[in-house]
Amino acid sequence: MAGLTGRMSTVVKAKVSKLLDRAEDPAETLDYSYQKQVEQLQNVKKGIADVVTAKKRLQMQESGLQQNVVKLDTQARQALAAGNEALAKTALERKNVAQTELQSLDTQVTELEEQQQKLTDSEQKLRAKIEAFRTKKEVIKAQYSAAEAQVRISEAATGVGEQMADVGLAMQRAVDKTENMRARADAVSELEAAGTFEDITQLGSGEDDIDRQLKQLSSQPAVEDELAKMKSELGQGAAAPQISAPGGAAAAEGAQGEPAQAEQPGQSGGQG
């Protein structure tokens, strides 16, 4: 039989064969084999449903974050107009985090859509093969002696089995990706639960844990740029007075000394 001697295809083939070995019991009756194929088809459908559920959750988070971005932007403007630069800065930092999350969610939704499409295609392919197997089995039974039919049907079953194994691997990858995204979605939920994107005007004058974490997560230069832009739009000079929230302003200056800390590993919020 033809084949490749290459390492990559050999490894992949071995993996599929292993799945096939596990799936096929020689003592299994051929009718049972068909029943198993149909069961596998149900699993694929369930896999697709899981991907769709994960996607919907991410999309809901996206629309929530979009509202937060608008709200925080408005609040930053209001704070700046009132001469409270520290509060404006805090709002912009939070907006920055929300925007980073939004971009990441967007990428993930796209990825899940691709997974969904692939699984749907695989499901159709598997369904066609199972149907072909069912028909072929009957034809073979009618044409050949029992022993010969057994051999030919089991060859056909191997062809279907390979498709099943392939769909199985695709499902496993989809599940892994969905799990990663679920963890990610949970992290966003935690940020929301901690009040990260809540009404900025409810904050006291002091800096809390969330603020300290956000300063590490958000990109300082981007925040500074946006703040400067907002100031010029409001017709304020660079030397705008800093009124309240002295704690926040001091910490912000401290954070400027270490710009490389913008993305901390282990911080659940800012990774892409």
Partner 1 sequence: MIVRISGEGQYRLDDSDAQRLNELENDVVSIVEGGGEDGFAAAFATLLDYVREHGAELSDDELEPSDVILPPSDVSFEEAGREFTGEGLIPD
Binding-site string for partner 1 from residue 167 to residue 206, where x marks contact by CB under 8 A and - marks none:
--xx--x---------------------------------
Q: How far is the CB of 1 from partner 1 (least distance, A)?
A: 6
Segment interacting with partner 1, rule: CB under 8 A, options 9-17, 57-65, 188-196, 257-265: 9-17
Q: How far is the CB of 37 from partner 1 (least distance, A)?
A: 11
Query: Percentage helix, strand, coil, to 5, in the chain?
Result: 80, 0, 20
Binding-site string for partner 1 from residue 133 to residue 152, where x marks contact by CB under 8 A and - marks none:
x--x----------------
Q: C-alpha distances in angstroms, 195 versus 15, 79, 201, 247?
A: 47, 19, 12, 19
- Beta-carbon count within 10 A of 162 CB: 17
Is the Cβ–Cβ distance between 208 and 167 less than 8 Å? Answer: no
Distance (Å, rounded) from C-alpha 134 to C-alpha 33? 10
Query: From the list 8, 27, 193, 238, which residue makes contact with partner 1 (rule: CB under 8 A)?
Result: 8
Across the strands, what pairs with 84?
Answer: 242
Residue with tokens 């009756």: 29
Interface with partner 1, residue 265, by CB under 8 A: no
The stretches of the chain forming alpha helices (DSSP H) are 7-23, 30-81, 85-143, 146-193, 209-217, 220-233, 246-256
Query: From the list 63, 110, 143, 158, which residue makes contact with partner 1 (rule: CB under 8 A)?
Result: 158
Interface with partner 1, residue 6, by CB under 8 A: yes
Q: Which of residues 48-77 bind partner 1 (CB under 8 A)?
A: none
Is the Cβ–Cβ distance between 90 and 248 less than 8 Å? Answer: yes
Interface with partner 1, residue 26, by CB under 8 A: no
Interface residues with partner 1 (CB under 8 A)? 1-9, 11-14, 16, 18, 114, 118, 122, 124-125, 128-129, 131-133, 136, 155-160, 162, 166, 169-170, 173
